[in-house]
Amino acid sequence: MNIALWLHRCGLSHPQMPAVAVGTRAVLTYGDLAERAARLAGALRTQLELQAGDRVAIVAKNTPAYVELLHGVWHAGCVAVPANAKLHGAELGYILEQSGARVCFASPGLDTDIAPHAPDTLAHLITIGSLAYEKLMTADAIDVVPRSGGDLAWLFYTSGTTGRPKGAMLTHRNLNWASHAYAAEVDPVSPGDAILHAAPMSHGSGLYIMPHVARLGVQVIPESGGFEPAEIIALFNAWPRISMFAAPTMIKRLLTQSADCNVENIRTLIWGGAPMYVEDALAALDRFGPRLAQIYGQGESPMTITTLSKQDIAVRDHPRWRARLGSAGKPYACVEVSVADRDDRPVAQGEPGEILVRGEVVMAGYWRNAEATAASLRSGWLHTGDIGLFDEEGYLHLKDRSKDLIISGGSNIYPREVEEVLLKHAGVREVSVIGRPDRDWGEIVVAYVVGDASPAELDALCLAHIARFKRPKDYVFVDALPKNNYGKILKTELRERDAARRR
Ligand code: AMP
């Protein structure tokens, strides 16, 4: 089925319910939103002459228009291509070209960045909120174009921590299952519940739109269009029953806010997208109470590989509580998760290996990239590139991306384990551990540290908590770590910088 049907039905049944808000102000009801999506779909098919399956790019900061654009595109039977608004014009040009998008909707300002890089295949570049944009909303509405579960809905461009971004092909079935899995296992949604979009809607946060539309929730967009900690706390205070997806760095920044926060209003704070160190999870639990949940997913299996539930995070008196807190939880009911060796054979429980995923949420492949698809989906499993292990209770512990693993003197060292220890030092704000090529050891462990601490103090911490051979042989103190536009630390770039420093 076409997931645009969810909005269509809500528009019929509850036209007066608020659907989208900016800050504390509702700006669209379900009736208005459904009508705009249906008219936009009409315009896409008749005025812009798109066919079912054509790609429509969205390059926008978080904005109410995101919700109507996604639904209008799906309503028309087309495929949405949300792109990260923070990318350079040339990078956006690449995504437009690779996806073969015929139409691109862009926020004011981003349209001019894109224009010089627009490929020939792009027939229309339309500025969101312009007269031309609003005119599309006056076209005749059309019926929702029928789609089957296997039809494409969203080309989800990877954040590209290495190389060029690839478009994970997400189908209507994928998004349908991901939305149901979320509502069943992470955060049940009731009518009127709010979802705060502080993370990019082109990426992680965008996936939370659908389960909230299906259940008559309210999409709340911050006035600032992004993540301003003080504003987020104010919105927590303003909206009863509010949830938010946040990268661990965002949760950490919220913890530094001293403003009063009515935590009773918070339904669920979901973290994911990168490791949350146990010390930070504990601090968040102290501040926000039993309202935290974790998801582990990737664009190729959106939101949905494993989840650590609110209950698991909250039960401090459980003997395995702390061990579970350091995990990414258990597989969702709708997926199979395997930890395998290089030949895709499952390894023994407790042994690390690559995390493989199979199920209804796994992407159909990479758009126009048969080679990467074959490599990623070989033997019927999605190869995540993440290393992890199952503990005796069936909780998955993530180690690192396979390419970040350090092999020193023949021993495997997982950077995250060392990072967890270094972060125990009160003066360490951020840390990233990498391997540096070494003639004697193969690689040696090197820690890049942001903060105030001495190598001797950090050494002492390591000696107290982990095996000697895992201790960094060099500490490099820096002002900041290289990160991509989604705030993920770029270890590949850090390794390159490390090599350059030593030349
Ligand atoms: P992306 O496709 O950009 O969302 O990135 C997905 C990657 O982020 C995964 O393959 C993991 O390496 C990492 N990731 C996602 N969720 C978590 C999590 N809960 N804990 C640690 N790493 C995560």
pLDDT at 160: 57
Residue 352 has pLDDT above 90, yes or no: yes
Contact 232/194 with Cβ under 8 angstroms? no
pLDDT at 161: 54
Q: How far apart are CA 204 and CA 198, in angstroms?
A: 10
Residue with tokens 């939103």: 33
Per-residue pLDDT band at 439 (split at 50, 70, 90): confident
Q: Which two tokens stand for residue 142?
A: 């059309």
Q: How far apart are CA 37 and CA 350, in angstroms?
A: 49
Task: Kindly report, residue by residue over 32-55, the tens digit of the pLDDT.
Answer: 999 999 999 999 999 999 999 999
pLDDT at 347: 98
Helices (H), 352-465: 370-376, 415-422, 455-465
Nearest residue (by CA) to ligand 1, atom 15, is: 273
Q: Domains in the chain, start-ordered, CATH in brackets?
A: 5-390 (3.40.50.12780), 406-501 (3.30.300.30)
Q: Does 202 contact ligand 1 (Cβ within 6 A)?
A: no
Burial class (CB in 10 A: 0-12, 13-18, 19+), 351: exposed
- From the alpha carbon of 384, which atom of ligand 1 is closest? 10
Q: Which two tokens stand for residue 446?
A: 């090197």
Per-residue pLDDT band at 276 (split at 50, 70, 90): confident
Length reported for the chain: 503
pLDDT at 401: 80
pLDDT at 49: 98
Q: Which two tokens stand for residue 312?
A: 């698991």
3 state SS of 156: strand
Q: Does 362 contact ligand 1 (Cβ within 6 A)?
A: no
pLDDT at 159: 67
Task: Kindly report, residue by residue over 199-219, the tens digit of the pLDDT.
Answer: 999 998 999 999 999 999 999
Contact 362/336 with Cβ under 8 angstroms? no
Q: How far apart are CA 424 and CA 449, in angstroms?
A: 12
Per-residue pLDDT band at 441 (split at 50, 70, 90): confident
The DSSP symbol for 452 reads S
- From the alpha carbon of 159, which atom of ligand 1 is closest? 3
Average the pLDDT over 464-474 and give the result: 91
pLDDT at 265: 98
Amino acid occupying residue 183: A
- From the alpha carbon of 299, which atom of ligand 1 is closest? 2
Q: What is the pTM of this model?
A: 0.90
Q: Does 400 contact ligand 1 (Cβ within 6 A)?
A: no
Residue 471 has pLDDT above 70, yes or no: yes
Contact 124/103 with Cβ under 8 angstroms? yes
Residue 410 has pLDDT above 80, yes or no: no
Mean pLDDT for all residues in the chain: 95
- From the alpha carbon of 203, which atom of ligand 1 is closest? 4
Residue 162 has pLDDT above 80, yes or no: no
The CA–CA distances, whole Å, from 442 to 147, 404, 408, 436 equal: 53, 14, 6, 8
Nearest residue (by CA) to ligand 1, atom 8, is: 273
**Bridging pattern class, strands 335-340 and 330-331:** unpaired
Share of the chain above pLDDT 90, in %: 85
Phi–psi pair at 194, nearest 5 degrees = -100, 145
Average the pLDDT over 366-383 and give the result: 96
pLDDT at 163: 64
Residue 368 has pLDDT above 70, yes or no: yes
Kindly report the number of other CB atoms within 10 A of residue 9's CB atom. 16
3 state SS of 105: strand
Task: Kindly report, residue by residue over 7-18, the tens digit of the pLDDT.
Answer: 999 999 999 999
